[in-house]
Amino acid sequence: MGVMLNFPFSSTFPLAYNAFIQLLLSSFIIFANKKFFLSGLKSLFNFSPTMDSLVSLGSGSAFLYGVFSCIKIFNGNAKYFSNLYFESACIILFFVKFGKFLESKAKTKTNSAIASLLKLSPKSASVEKNGVEIDTDIENINPDDIVIMRAGGKVPSDGIIIEGNGALDISAVTGESLPVDKTVGDTITSASIVKDGYFKMKILKPASESFLSNIIKITEAACASKAPIARVADSVSAVFVPIVITISAVCAAYWLLKGSSFEFALSTAISVLIISCPCTLGLATPAAITVGMGKAAKMRILFKNAQILEELSKVTVVVFDKTGALTSGKLSLTKIITLKNTSEKEALFLCASLENLSQHPIAKAIMERCKNENTTLAKPDNFKQIFGKGIKATIDGKEIVCGNKDFLESEGVFLNLKELRNENLSKIETVIYLAQQKELIAILSFSDTIKEQSFCAIEALKKMKIKTVLLSGDNKETSHFIGGKIGIEQIISEVIPQEKEQVISKLQNKGEKVAMVGDGINDAPALAKANVGFAIGAGSEIALESSDIILTSNNPLDVVLSLKLSYEVLRNIKQNLFWAFFYNILLIPVAGGVFFQSYGLKLNPMYAAAAMSLSSLFVIGNALRIKVPK
């Protein structure tokens, strides 16, 4: 554009060479972005125009008219040099391409939920054959095989215990907050983890048909059923493109009927297409989303899909898992009731001295309390642990017994049940008893604590007119106690993973837009099925992979912040769409020659480029105004 701007060097450079270089350079750009023209023209011919259709028409028309002008220039007609629209053709492609670049940077890779599920299954297991223990791949395990399980092992497939016992962490499967004791005759499922104990199990199903495999199939189906979010730009273009093409054709026909030259009529028609092409339409959505996701990342909220911000703004129901999402998922010692003139400090000392040798979750809760209070422990003698019941040992020559009710009674300790009822122990709490020399001296109560932020989150969602649901695999009494205390409107308990996914489907069939918040394997199908899936950062790998949003701070209040951010971003996108069209539409009458006869005013390609640049600046500047919600 040196000649048009009267640059000193331009006068020494032949116009024909200048035109040829512009043609050559812009040809490379047009070819490099040929996919816009292929998809845009294809959708136009199929009567379903998109933003690519408008881009291909505007940029293509500017380029073709530039080629026409080059031919005139090569034939000695220098006046056509001012009709070279190559810079407009390339600027259109640049801004749209830049918008798509921002959009791609805002997105993350497609989640690998199915691959993560497969990782949860052990690659091998210890199988007993003819009295000999051998390691084998789980693919080779068949029904009726005997598998040996030890502490820390993952159950390879569904089966039944035939010898020994163990404490299994099944929270990832059912949502149960505490390890469950299993013994001979009890069935166990794949994906369970042995926390303590030793047992042999008989395999009932091959790994390909196990509980975990079924979860994989459900998650895969739920992921496939998610409909992609329609692009705002394309929906706008579906209406805008036909209107622009019509206006362009009418302008060309009008000036031809008025007796103007073909070049003038064609120039007017192309000017309408150029100025009507809202290249910032490609920036409007990704600019706001990129800024919004950046703000979210600072709040430790990670969106795995940029477009999920739009979907999140439509949510009407938020479904919470209990363990890990609303509660800590970790046992804590909440109460020590002392008897027989025993102090809390003494009771904690005796109990911790015994439990220090155990890896049970209750023992860990006791040791955590001792750590906080700097309790010094004794070394017990004659230590004996009865799996799933309790511990017996001698400290300073006195027999100490710690465990559940049945264990203490079997050791000859009398428990006054009436006296215990008066201690107001909650039925949802886990209780162990401590006895010394056959006399009950203390009762210790443990519970899975509710996160403080859970109360604020539920209250905030109610103010936003969003319905809340508690969906847990835990027992009815515990679920209703937790849900009622927090203030959740609907409570559904004792559901297996397949049923969780069905609950989400039922809500969606009623027209609800559902967000699911969870952290375990049991939540994976529901997270994948929901319109928006939130995974608590400390949750299982499959929950993280099946979700759309990861809350790395493990704070349920971040669900509220995410919703508010989505509202802010969506409002910003709508504002951006306005600015994307404002300048272009304002200059359409000028491009069409409405003011040419009266004022001699006709659109210069530089003005078109300036209008597009200015609208782009408005869009970017407006996107940067997005604030972190409070």
Helix H or strand E segment including 49? none
What tens digit of pLDDT does each residue of 40-79 get? 888 888 887 776 777 788 788 888 888 988 888 888 887 7
What tens digit of pLDDT does each residue of 525-539 get? 888 888 998 888 655
The 10 Å Cβ neighbour count of residue 46 is 9
pLDDT greater than 60 at residue 115: no
Cα gap 150→554, rounded to integer Å: 31
pLDDT greater than 70 at residue 604: no
Can you give the pTM of this predicted structure? 0.62
Angle (CA) 461 467 472, round 5°: 100
Looking at the chain, the whole-number percentage of residues with pLDDT higher than 90 is: 19
- Under 8 Å between Cβ of 324 and 471: no
β 146-150/132-137 pair status? unpaired
Chain Cα centroid distance, residue 573: 21
Cα gap 271→557, rounded to integer Å: 52
The 10 Å Cβ neighbour count of residue 489 is 14
Cα gap 262→518, rounded to integer Å: 66
Closest CA to 258 of 627, 570, 594, 587: 594
Handedness of CA 54, 59, 65, 71 (dihedral sign): negative
What tens digit of pLDDT does each residue of 244-298 get? 888 888 988 998 998 888 777 877 887 787 777 666 666 777 778 777 877 777 7
State the pLDDT at residue 107: 44
State the pLDDT at residue 260: 85
Q: How many helices (H) and strands (E) does the chain have?
A: 24, 20
Catalytic residues: 321
Domains of the chain: 8-109+229-286+567-623 (no CATH), 122-155+157-209 (2.70.150.10), 299-327+451-565 (3.40.50.1000), 328-449 (3.40.1110.10)
- What is the per-residue burial (b if ≥16 Cβ within 10 Å, else e) of 344-357? eeebbbbbbbbbbe
State the pLDDT at residue 241: 78
Closest CA to 283 of 232, 238, 229: 232
What tens digit of pLDDT does each residue of 558-571 get? 999 999 998 998 88
**Which residue carries 């951010």 as its tokens?**
565
Task: Specify burial of residue 5 (Cβ count, 10 A radius: 0-12, 13-18, 19+).
Answer: exposed
What tens digit of pLDDT does each residue of 5-40 get? 666 655 556 778 888 888 999 999 999 999 889 988
The encoded tokens of residue 258 equal 């008025």
The 10 Å Cβ neighbour count of residue 233 is 25
Task: Specify burial of residue 427 (Cβ count, 10 A radius: 0-12, 13-18, 19+).
Answer: exposed
pLDDT greater than 90 at residue 458: yes
The encoded tokens of residue 245 equal 């093409």
Per-residue pLDDT, averaged over 81-100, amounts to 76
The 10 Å Cβ neighbour count of residue 595 is 13
